Structure 1
């Protein structure tokens, strides 16, 4: 290491398409960034898998691309819910089954029957969904019994990178909340769920709080020995920290391919019907409620790819600006890939309603932007019902731009704040790494010193008045579409 090397915290985000690495200074300034991708395997319809070794190779390459920096600590975040299974020798048994894999519908039904839906929600804060980890274990037991019999320990995607960096097997309570095996209120593995599903608790990793030191690097050719690595968090909790959601009050909205509404809660609470998720937050002693819609910016991507593949997104949004709020009665139900919250329905379908001859491409775009905003509001209403105060929102993601921000602010009735750093989960991971490395006293100290608001978008009162009526019509869409879907079967 050169004498003039800069001391940094490294944040690693193990995503679905690639690893993002950022180097952050003590004041939260981004010193360097790098990203390396890897393939996604879909060997059968509805399946989604990756080779954990690809994550490790991309992690090594991304860290190397950060350059000659003195790494003081490392924080981890990553895609949630994925099942990584290792044998007694520490070898990966089969490709990891990812969060967006849909093969486990029968196992989800089995879990809710064996545990009881009401009891499952009270224990885990959630109902059984195909993306979660527990159904994947049951699927392996039923369909790949030889592989299941070899399992000595399991882990989540980012925790495989921890294992390779430090030799330590561990996870954090925020990421573990998405396994459906955690007693979320008590922040410990649920013996009731494990017993009910006949799962061996010995295969589960030790639990830590997100900013705790999970181990020291063992020297693996990319970083020196002895660097502390924070326990980290799942990508949604890390992204929320990255925009400053370390306490109840501000709301995090992520407008990526999917859309996320995330609010810290003053105490553990869960929706009786589990229409939104209740998880442990990455801040020790806190919880959060989260709604996830599957097609947010992905809805606009779909429209562009189908109707205007050579048109820049900015031009499409400019066409939408020619239409006022409500697009003269045109509505879009954003259920292109089914829906997760508040409708746990993989068979939900999208639709445009209210089309007239005078509606043009710009009107379709406007309706898509507004339909996504109303989908986010669905989750917001449920989060508020759990006690989340939600007095303003911090927004990140590729869709957090221009007209769409004005629409979201007005549809939600909240001022929208943009932060100076938009690195999302990797930045939140770096803040956790900074706490583990002694850069910051605790998570609130890290947020206070490193997260800064650069711009605020206020709701438009005239648009709000229109959207109140339009949102009521939007709420009626899903039941109507569901009836159409049932009649078509």
Structure 2
């Protein structure tokens, strides 16, 4: 929901920060579909970096790391040019794919191998959708790059796959920490699409001249893999092994850093998932729900873009706990019956936000 640039010192103290809102676009093919403009994201990223330049004038920048949301990415040619737009995790086009995935492999087996839960936005379903609808693109493609790798490729010219991003795909063998031959073979997705795996903290390359100019930074700065934002948040929270963390943002994710996980149990729990930790040897089993993404949706529906957040909060506080019977069935991504219940002629926007 936002693009940020944050500068931190050796002790992890924030020296400067800038942020700007981010939004997906409506796809030209279908007005119900959502996609991301990589160029728009890069421009927002550049704008944020440029806004930090005066505050960092006396600093030596020793490294750049990009962390993004998982699952989304794009097929690219050998020059890094996109062959098809980045399908957003919000896009409903993959709902039919997940419903029919049993034609390739059972959902239970997929989660037992990968750890990742059955969410329609998983990378697996995007690639199956592309294979079923645009098979020529998979044949032409040099690589599949996740959002973070698309940005890193623009920064360095290097094609890489961050291991924590791969861990969100539902195509990895979580025990082997590599793409599952069984899943790829069953779905017909070629392994060659995924460039070299890099661990979080590993150097990808250095900032190239053109990208440095766009960001307002010196060229040659080391670019370090940081990968998936969930794992970045777990690490940043300072959580130790076997210590649970609630990461609250667009998604609400309750995870723990664990040395072992019984993936065969996960499919018995709706909303369960397991991703690879940023530290090799640890996994992150957990549960996830759509969280502030719903609040931001309600805000866009019922308030103007310049309404202060405090106004929303104050109106919600005027409504008693329980919202006078107004409830929401929250499985917004998978259930056609999702939505509001208990709405009357006396319901106002404060009820919805409460």
Q: TM-score category by the smaller chain?
A: 0.7 to 0.9
Q: Distance in 1 between matches of 2:130 and 2:293?
A: 33
Equivalent residue pairs, number:
338
2:327 to 310, 329, 332: 332
3-state SS of 1:261 partner: strand
Greater helix proportion: 1
Give ranges in structure 2 of 5+ residues lacking alignment: none
Runs (4+) off by over 4 Å: 36-39, 307-311, 325-328, 359-363
1:116 deviation in Å?
A: 2.1
1:56 deviation in Å?
A: 2.6
1:158 deviation in Å?
A: 1.0
3-state SS of 2:238 partner: coil
Q: Is the 8 A contact 2:316 2:351 kept in 1?
A: no
The within-5 A match list for 1:28-67 is 28-37=12-21, 40-43=24-27, 44-67=30-53
Q: Distance in 2 between matches of 1:139 and 1:83?
A: 13
Q: Is the 8 A contact 2:241 2:257 kept in 1?
A: yes
The within-5 A match list for 1:406-425 is none
Q: Is the 8 A contact 1:79 1:99 kept in 2?
A: no
Q: Evaluate the alpha carbon distance shift between residue 299 and residue 165 of structure 1 in structure 2; reply closer, same or farther with a 3 A threshold.
A: closer
3-state SS of 1:224 partner: coil
Q: Is the 8 A contact 1:134 1:179 kept in 2?
A: yes
1:282 to 271, 278, 281: 278
Corresponding position: 1:138 with 2:128: yes
Corresponding position: 1:212 with 2:206: no
1:35 deviation in Å?
A: 2.7
The within-5 A match list for 1:7-406 is 17-37=1-21, 40-43=24-27, 44-67=30-53, 68=57, 69-220=59-210, 221=213, 222=215, 223-254=217-248, 256-270=249-263, 271-273=266-268, 275=270, 276-296=272-292, 298-299=294-295, 302=298, 305-306=301-302, 312-320=311-319, 323=320, 330=325, 332-335=327-330, 338-339=332-333, 345-353=334-342, 364=351, 369=354
Q: Evaluate the alpha carbon distance shift between residue 41 and residue 287 of structure 1 in structure 2; reply closer, same or farther with a 3 A threshold.
A: same
Q: Distance in 1 between matches of 2:140 and 2:156?
A: 23
Q: Larger deviation: 311-320 or 171-180?
A: 311-320
Q: Evaluate the alpha carbon distance shift between residue 326 and residue 135 of structure 1 in structure 2; reply closer, same or farther with a 3 A threshold.
A: closer
Q: Evaluate the alpha carbon distance shift between residue 200 and residue 251 of structure 1 in structure 2; reply closer, same or farther with a 3 A threshold.
A: same
3-state SS of 1:165 partner: helix
1:251 deviation in Å?
A: 1.6
Q: Distance in 2 between matches of 1:156 and 1:363?
A: 38
Q: Distance in 2 between matches of 1:327 and 1:203?
A: 49
1:288 deviation in Å?
A: 0.9
Q: Distance in 1 between matches of 2:89 and 2:344?
A: 39
Q: Evaluate the alpha carbon distance shift between residue 352 and residue 303 of structure 1 in structure 2; reply closer, same or farther with a 3 A threshold.
A: farther
Q: Is the 8 A contact 1:78 1:234 kept in 2?
A: yes
Q: Distance in 2 between matches of 1:171 and 1:302?
A: 35
3-state SS of 2:24 partner: coil
1:294 deviation in Å?
A: 2.3
Give ranges in structure 1 of 5+ residues lacking alignment: 1-16, 340-344, 370-489
Q: Evaluate the alpha carbon distance shift between residue 356 and residue 95 of structure 1 in structure 2; reply closer, same or farther with a 3 A threshold.
A: closer
* TM-score normalised to structure 2 length: 0.83
Q: Which residue of 2 aligns with 1:470?
A: none
1:348 deviation in Å?
A: 4.0
| Cα offsets for 1:8-53 (capped at 9, x unmatched) | xxxxxxxxx4421100112222111123455522122441112323
Q: Distance in 1 between matches of 2:341 and 2:278?
A: 38
1:147 deviation in Å?
A: 2.9
1:54 deviation in Å?
A: 2.5
Q: Larger deviation: 201-210 or 236-245?
A: 236-245
